[in-house]
Amino acid sequence: MTPGARLVQVDGLVKHFPGARALLGLGRARRPVRAVDGVSFAIESGQTLGLVGESGCGKSTVGRSILRLIEPDAGRVTLDGVEVLALGPRELRALRRRMQIVFQDPYGSLNPRMTVYQTLAEPLAIHRLAAGPEVERRVRSLLEEVGLDPAFARAYPHELSGGQRQRVGIARALSVEPQFLVLDEPVSALDVSVQAQVLNLLAELQRKRRLTYLFIAHDLAVVKHIADHVAVMYLGKIVERASAAALYGAPRHPYTTSLLSAVPVPDPTAQRQRIVLQGDVPSPAAPPPGCPFHPRCPHPKKNDRCRTEPPALREVAPGQLAACHFAEEPM
């Protein structure tokens, strides 16, 4: 496929989870959780889109819906022109070879009773990609590619450190030679030093294999090191989307500005004006009316319109979309 072409396209993605019913069926059923509420974006081949937001805003649900690890309620997803949501089970299995996921928790995402060798050989067998001595050769080269000594093939997950387990998770995703990877908080559970090693590895693999990434994170500083474009989510919706340079250089949504200002800077002499957002994220089962961010919004011009009228996600600068009534006059 030609470089610069859109490999992944997501339009109007919706996923609502049924609300928990009151105990013993007494009382009213709770309102549904609007985990993802009309999310759209595209990722060009060989590029990385960073998807950022606070816990519970729907990032993982977006990633899982695209791969159909959960079934979205509405919307359109295409991978290299193939309508992902229209596929039957057999075609879907074939497509899974082309798109894979790496999970946040390097502890929970590997089978504790399988050696590293078995973990990496399994997808090769399922997708009939190798047999006989070829399996061993492939496993060895995958381990080398993610920077692990081939001697680790005999190890069980509990014998590995967090960073090593995350490398095995990446190797397993790569074993089927995908084009597209959803990286769901792949470094959030790691120490800074190991985090840097894994980020470097991901960048190198992307270059070598021309991979396309959806990189999910809650840390805007981490995303800055890997993303070409960034989408910021709040309560199931994208509130700002732009190139990394525009988003970090000139954020248009007050939520993006607040997130940026909350990241601790490793410089004790830095004089920063910190915006500390008040309160927690509201429940996605009962998002506030108007602009969903209005109860926490620090924008000095916030007014009644914010409390009643939902702002549209619109282009406010070339290639930069934001959903704030005052996006044209940022903070």
Partner 1 sequence: MTEPLLRVRDLKTYFVTEQGSGTARAVDGVSLDLFPGETLGLVGESGCGKTVTSLSILRLIPEPPGHIRPGSFIEFEGRNLLTLAPKELRAIRGNRIAMVFQEPMTSLNPVFTVGDQIAEAAIVHQGLSRNAARARAVEMLTLVGIPDPQERVDHYPHQMSGGMRQRVMIAMALVCHPKLLIADEPTTALDVTIQAQILELLDRLQRELGMAVMLITHDLGVVAGTADRVVVMYAGQVVEQAPTTTLFARPLHPYTEGLLASVPRLDTRVSQVRGRLHSIPGQVPAATAWPTGCRFHPRCPYAWDRCASEEPPLLDAPGGEAGAHTVRCWLLTEPQRRERRA
* Rounded distance between C-alpha atoms, residue 284 and residue 292, angstroms: 10
Using rule CB under 8 A, residue 262 touches partner 1: yes
Q: Which does 58 bind (CB under 5 to 8 A by kind): ligand ATP, Mg ion, partner 1, none?
A: ligand ATP
Q: Which does 263 bind (CB under 5 to 8 A by kind): Mg ion, ligand ATP, partner 1, none?
A: partner 1
Q: How far is the CB of 69 from partner 1 (least distance, A)?
A: 24
With respect to ligand ATP, which residue has the nearer C-beta, 69 or 82? 69
Kind and range of the H or E run holding 20: none
Radius of gyration of the chain (CA): 21
Which residues lie across from 238 on neighbouring strands? 233
| % helix, strand, coil for the chain, step of 5 | 35, 20, 45
Using rule CB under 8 A, residue 317 touches partner 1: no
Q: How far is the CB of 109 from partner 1 (least distance, A)?
A: 18
CA-to-CA separations, 16 to 33, 155, 313, in angstroms, rounded: 5, 40, 20
Kind and range of the H or E run holding 190: none
Q: How far is the CB of 171 from Mg ion (least distance, A)?
A: 22
Query: Is 229 buried (19+), middle (13-18) or exposed (0-12) by CB count in 10 A?
Result: buried
Using rule CB under 8 A, residue 86 touches partner 1: no
**Residue ranges in 129-168 that form contacts with partner 1 under rule CB under 8 A:** 161-164
DSSP 243-262: EHHHHHHS--SHHHHHHHHH
With respect to partner 1, which residue has the nearer C-beta, 2 or 55? 55
With respect to Mg ion, which residue has the nearer C-beta, 70 or 275? 70
Using rule CB under 8 A, residue 270 touches partner 1: yes
Kind and range of the H or E run holding 296: none
Residues near Mg ion (CB under 5 A): 60
Question: What is the three-class DSSP state of 37?
Answer: strand
Using rule CB under 8 A, residue 107 touches partner 1: no
Residues that bind partner 1 in the complex, under the rule CB under 8 A: 54-55, 161-164, 191-197, 199-200, 203, 218-222, 224-225, 244-245, 248-249, 258-260, 262-270, 274, 276-281
